[in-house]
Structure 1
Amino acid sequence: MLNYSIAMRSNPIDKGAPKKAYATSQYSEVMNINQFAEHIASHGSVYKRSDVAAILTMAVDCLREQLLEGKKVELGDLGFFYVRISGEGAPSAAEYNPAIYVKKLNVKWQCGARFKDLLGEAVFNLVAPRSVSQKVLKAHKAGETTVDISPEVTEEETDDQGGMGV
């Protein structure tokens, strides 16, 4: 079940265009490597959670090592992992020095066959946006029985829209 909320967003290219409603994914929890290993082990594996966690941890270490060696790593149906360089341009090839012009290395994932069509199997569940959930939780902790969930409007939004924004 994929949780999602609806967010009104403007078109970054056409700022004057009316906002449109878009789905925003909302995860229900963060699963750490030990919880994931426990889940894997619960699927009839002959390995214990600790064995699976050790293998996953080693896989992460080895993947990092291979990426730093300039390799593209294929992990079957999981897909490919590789590094992309992000940085600035030098005035000429002769002046290019990665220590100066490379600003970031981005690890990219190219999904494998089992991840290409998740939409065909997805089931969606509409939930409150995170901002509303946070307001409700804060009110609950304070013992309040009512919550104002109207969106907060910044001065910039008020100026842009000539009044209160929605």
Structure 2
Amino acid sequence: MIDINVIQKVNPQSPEDPRKYYGTSKSSGTADIRKLANRISKETTLGTPDVMAVIEAMLQDIPEFLLEGKIVKLGDFGTFRLTVSGEGAETQEEYSTNLIRKANLHFRGGKVFQDVLASAEFRKVS
């Protein structure tokens, strides 16, 4: 169940329009790497230290693959990829990588996430 807070917001494209109320998801705490490793350990034959080692290796290897220009596909878990944002140039010849402001990390959830989100239920909270 996803808890929803209702808040009033301005339309940034029309700030003079009347404000409307929108739902925002409410977090109920965090789950850190250790909690994740403990849960995975209970669901598999691996001990918590083994799971932690795999997660740590992924945290090291995924960014390296991304910097090599790879899209990292983790099956039904999802896909990581890099994009860049910056300024444009009038012509291809005038373009320089100095116009790039930053690199962005994008994650697209795979089938497991899509299925869970498709069946999510919501509850309005105060």
Counterpart residue number, 1:24: 24
Q: TM-score, normalised by structure 1?
A: 0.68
Counterpart residue number, 1:49: 48
- Give the Å deviation of 1:73: 1.2
Indicate the structure (1 or 2) with the bigger Cα radius of gyration: 1
Deviation string, structure 1 residues 137-166 (Cα, Å, up to 9, x no partner) = xxxxxxxxxxxxxxxxxxxxxxxxxxxxxx
Q: In structure 2, what is the Cα distance between the partners aligned to 1:123 and 1:40? A: 25
Counterpart residue number, 1:2: 2
Counterpart residue number, 1:35: 35
Deviation string, structure 1 residues 40-99 (Cα, Å, up to 9, x no partner) = 1122x100111111101111211100000001111001121111011112343223331x
Counterpart residue number, 2:102: 104
Q: Secondary structure at the match of 2:76?
A: helix
- Give the Å deviation of 1:116: 1.8
Q: Secondary structure at the match of 2:79?
A: strand
Q: In structure 2, what is the Cα distance between the partners aligned to 1:126 and 1:57? A: 37
Q: In structure 1, what is the Cα distance between the partners aligned to 2:113 and 2:52? A: 22
- Give the Å deviation of 1:104: 0.6
Counterpart residue number, 2:61: 62
Aligned residue type for 1:13: Q
Aligned residue type for 1:107: L
Counterpart residue number, 1:161: none
Q: In structure 2, what is the Cα distance between the partners aligned to 1:81 and 1:49? A: 25
Larger strand proportion of the pair: 2
Aligned residue type for 1:28: S
Q: Secondary structure at the match of 1:17?
A: coil
Aligned length: 126
5+ residue gaps, structure 1, are 129-166
Instruction: Give the stretch that moved more between structures: 8-17 or 81-90.
Output: 8-17
Aligned residue type for 1:53: M
